[in-house]
Every structure is written in C-alpha cells, then in structure tokens.
Amino acid sequence: MPEKNHHVVFAGVGGQGILTASQIVALVAMKEGLDVRKSEVKGLSQRGGSVVSFVKFGPIVYAPLVEAGTADVLVGFEKAEALRWLHYLPPGQGIMIVNDFELPPIPVTLGHATYPPFPEKDLQNQLARLYKVPAKEIAEDLGSSLLMNTVLLGVLSRVLPFPVFRWEEVIGEVFVEPYRERNLQAFHAGRDRAEEFVVTG
C-alpha cells in the first residue's frame, strides 16, 4: 500500500473513453483500501471537446483538483491534449504516457491554426520517463480502435502501485461481455509491451 498520495491526470478528447479509464483507476485504488477523489473538467461538447480527468489516491485525500506541478503521471489520449495539460507535471520527475495519435482540433482542420509539433526530445529532458504508445494500432489489431483507452491503462498499470489481479477484477466489473474479454486483452497488450514504448536516446 502506498504511503504517499498519487495524482494521475488523464487528458484527451471527448469520446475517447477518458472518463471510463479514470473511473477504472479510481475503483482499483478504492478496492485497495485507499482514499480516492475523482474530478473532471469538461467542455460543453459531448464529443470533440477537450477533457481532463483527475484521480488522486492515497491514505487520505482532501481536495478534488490536482495542483499544477503535483501529478505523478499524465496520460495523454491525444498528443496535442497531452501538451495542453503539461503544467500538471513537475520538472524532471513526471511520467508521461502519450497515445501516438492526433485528432486535429476544428481550427486546425479549417486551416485557422496549425497542429502543434510534439517536442519529443525536450520532453525527454523534462520528464522522468516518456512512454509513446501506438495504442490505436494495438487496439485495431485486437478488433476495435475503441480499445485504445484500455491499452493505455495497461501501460499505466506498470507505473502505479497496484497488483495486476485488482486491475483485472475492476476491468471485469466495468465492462460486460463481449467487451469484457476484449478489454482484458487490450489491458494486457499495453501492460506486456509497456517497456517497448519507453522513449530512449
């Protein structure tokens, strides 16, 4: 059981399954007997808006929002969104897990703005570790790009202090068949291959 509080920030675009992913992490922490808070910032759009979800867990958690500079992990479901919420990570100590996937915002597709370049080298210097995950390809190989979020959870499971059976238990409860089995496969695909996705050099 962790002695300190952990803060995880999930960032992405509405419709990517961010709230399901953060709910799974929160339930895993709760079943481990920890105190948990989960809170979101959502735009007005059901789909296509910027979404950020916070999960904080530990012996005692007071407040719902994560303070800038205190996140242990930022999980970016989309590359530009990971960059938008970078300030939650502290210099030199944070872990970023980013889906190697672009969903251009409307101003970009209409030609009013450009999609930001992903500064991989700079980020490597500013982070303790960077995982760049081809979650879409892995998910599509397993049958559906909708499994992207669970692939990312598999990678996240490598950096959070929870036993694998607890993840399996919660994923098994959150999804009904036939989605249960496919999500467990996606989780393990991310978890088993996590080391491959660490950006080095």
CA–CA distance, 160 with 201 (Å, rounded to integer)? 24
Of 3, 4, 47, 201, the residue at the interface with other proteins (CB under 8 A) is 47
Q: Which is nearer to other proteins, 116 or 192 (CB)?
A: 116
Longest pairwise C-alpha distance within the chain: 50
On whether the CB atoms of residues 69 and 97 are closer than 8 A, the answer is no
Q: Which is nearer to other proteins, 90 or 134 (CB)?
A: 90
Q: Between 55 and 94, how does the x/- string for binding to other proteins read (CB under 8 A)?
A: ------xxxxxxxxxx---------xx-xxxxxxxxx--x
Among the candidate windows 109-117, 134-142, 161-169, 192-200, which touches other proteins by CB under 8 A?
A: 109-117
Of 3, 106, 176, 200, the residue at the interface with other proteins (CB under 8 A) is 106
Q: Which is nearer to other proteins, 43 or 163 (CB)?
A: 43
> Cis peptide leading into 178, omega within 30 of 0?
yes
CB of 198 to other proteins, least distance (A): 19
CA–CA distance, 69 with 93 (Å, rounded to integer)? 10
Binding residues among 127-156 for other proteins as defined by CB under 8 A: none
Q: By 3-state DSSP, what share of the chain in percent is helix, strand and coil, each rounded to 5? A: 40, 20, 40
Closest CA to 26 of 42, 10, 14, 13: 10
